Structure 1
Amino acid sequence: MGVWRSLNKSELVAALLLIGVGVFVLMHAWDWPYLTADGPGPGFFPLWIGICIIALAALLVVLQVVHTINQGAVSATNWAGAGRVLGGWSGLMLCIALLQPAGFVVSFLLLVMILVMAVFRRTFLSALIVGVSASAGFWVLFVKLLRVQLPAGPWGF
């Protein structure tokens, strides 16, 4: 019982939340066809993503237990790093929320800018340059070259 008490609780909570996300993805992927006559169906990729999320989250728990058994104590949570992770997750949630009303290019631009500023701690100007470059690059690659239809915003892109 002593091993369980000395585990890093934030790592365990993160792993349990990720297992929940993986199960959620698996439940939805299960309703879609795994294979079609043309090859992998719409359920193929989400099914394997869900399996990978669950497996990696379980590995996180196992590694935490092994580390705690070998070291005897666990390191404290790095709250400065947690703020950076929260910034990244917030940017992702904003990108998802803005995908339909603002379009892919604008939502992806904001996501990249938030990641560059929150996670990598760069200036607004460098975030703007990287965001515009990445958004333009993705737009050219997918819309123009591969002819993939991405959600367009009110500005037509």
Structure 2
Amino acid sequence: MKNAGLWFGVFVLVLGCVFMWQSLSLDYSSSIGPGPGLFPLWLSGILIGLSLLYIIDSIRKNVIHITSIMPRGKGLGNVVTILLSIVIFMIVVSFAGFVIAGTILIFMLLVREYKWYRALGLSVVIALLTFFVFQTLLDVPLPVNELGF
């Protein structure tokens, strides 16, 4: 129950099975050669095989306890901050727009290491630069607020 390798192997096995099931809905071959289902079917089959080998190996030899790989102290704080900032970004981006949500996300990540005013300045510049590159140069539509950013 505490073997992290076993749990990871089971997760990858389930993921491989889902990919294989989805790839079966695609044509394996076409009139001109291999179809769109060939590559994902073979890759998911390889993924399933490797995950089974990893599960066997993690049960027999390399038992990795979950408590030994979990972060502690500042590392745990960093992980929680990253997850929390992503959740807040997903909530805020739909009504506040990309620039404001991105500024909040980057600020939350930087304020732990920089003074608050430097973190805020960097956050605004990075969010605006990212918005400009994707919206203007790459023509990727990003969520905006009533003000257009």
Number of equivalences: 116
Q: Give the one of 75, 83, 91 matched to 2:77.
A: 83
The code of the aligned residue for 1:108 comes to: G
CA distance 1:115–1:75, change in 2 (3 Å): closer
Give the TM-score normalised by structure 1.
0.54
Name the SS for the 1:97 alignment partner: helix
The equivalent of 1:93 in structure 2 is 87
What is the CA-CA distance between 1:80 and the residue it aligns to?
2.8
The equivalent of 1:135 in structure 2 is 127
2:139 aligned with 1:147: yes
The equivalent of 1:108 in structure 2 is 102
Alpha carbons 1:105, 1:135 under 8 Å: kept: yes
CA distance 1:85–1:155, change in 2 (3 Å): same
Distance, in Å, in 2 between the alignment partners of 1:111 and 1:142 is 17
Runs of at least 4 residues of structure 1 off by over 2 A? 65-69, 73-77
CA distance 1:84–1:12, change in 2 (3 Å): farther
Distance, in Å, in 1 between the alignment partners of 2:130 and 2:111 is 20
Q: Which structure 1 residue ranges, 5 or more long, are not aligned? A: 35-39
The code of the aligned residue for 1:81 comes to: G
Distance, in Å, in 1 between the alignment partners of 2:147 and 2:68 is 51
Q: Which structure 2 residue ranges, 5 or more long, are not aligned? A: 27-35
Name the SS for the 2:62 alignment partner: helix
Give the TM-score normalised by structure 2.
0.57
Q: Give the one of 62, 66, 78 matched to 1:66.
A: 62
Distance, in Å, in 2 between the alignment partners of 1:76 and 1:112 is 24
CA distance 1:74–1:92, change in 2 (3 Å): closer
The equivalences for 1:18-57 within 5 A come to 19=11, 23=15, 30=22
**Which protein is bigger by CA-based radius of gyration?**
2
Alpha carbons 1:67, 1:74 under 8 Å: kept: no
CA distance 1:75–1:136, change in 2 (3 Å): closer
What is the CA-CA distance between 1:66 and the residue it aligns to?
3.2
Identity %: 19
